[in-house]
Amino acid sequence: MSRPPNRRVQPATAAVVVRVDPGEHDIEVRAGESLIEAAWRAGYQWPTLCYGMGTCTACQCEVLDGLDNLSPRTEAEEHMLGDLGRRKRRANPRRVRLACQLFLTGDATIRKPGVRVTENVESTTATTEAGSQVPTDKESRR
């Protein structure tokens, strides 16, 4: 499937879901949020040294699916990533992005080792081995 030339990515108006592997984490990314901001809001730890300033490259990830749903590379990405994709011998350098600079217009699948749920996340429900949904927040357990 080919893409029309000079296609512009429109800002997302609704939340999209990004699957992050390994771990099969599904992270909802809201309009106006970068991927790393969405991950942090959802209670995930995402590798970083500069906390979203676009200066460390620790947040870099590989886009496995959904390339057409990505914002264009920012100047920070161009500067920080340069030809990183080529140096890592990836088939398509477009797949290497900084999560702190990445906005999405549709669903995508990302590979980023090291993404994990933080211990202080208070999920409202959990699934038991029997498949039942049970409350997990502190208020419900009292």
Residues that bind ligand FES in the complex, under the rule CB under 6 A: 36, 48-50, 52-59, 98, 100
Task: Please report how close the Cβ of residue 125 comes to ligand FES at its closest, in angstroms.
Answer: 30
Task: Please report how close the Cβ of residue 19 comes to ligand FES at its closest, in angstroms.
Answer: 20
The residue (of 13 and 58) whose beta carbon lies closer to ligand FES is 58
Distances (CA, A) of 130 to 49, 123, 126: 40, 18, 11
Task: Please report how close the Cβ of residue 20 comes to ligand FES at its closest, in angstroms.
Answer: 15
Please say whether the beta carbons of 62 and 112 come within 8 A: yes
The residue (of 94 and 125) whose beta carbon lies closer to ligand FES is 94
The residue (of 83 and 139) whose beta carbon lies closer to ligand FES is 83
What count of Cα atoms within 13 Å lies in the side-chain half-sphere of residue 70? Answer: 24
The residue (of 30 and 79) whose beta carbon lies closer to ligand FES is 79
Please say whether the beta carbons of 15 and 28 come within 8 A: yes
Task: Please report how close the Cβ of residue 126 comes to ligand FES at its closest, in angstroms.
Answer: 30
Query: Any bridge partners for residue 60, and if so which?
Result: 98
Whole-angstrom distance, CA of residue 90 vs CA of residue 107: 22
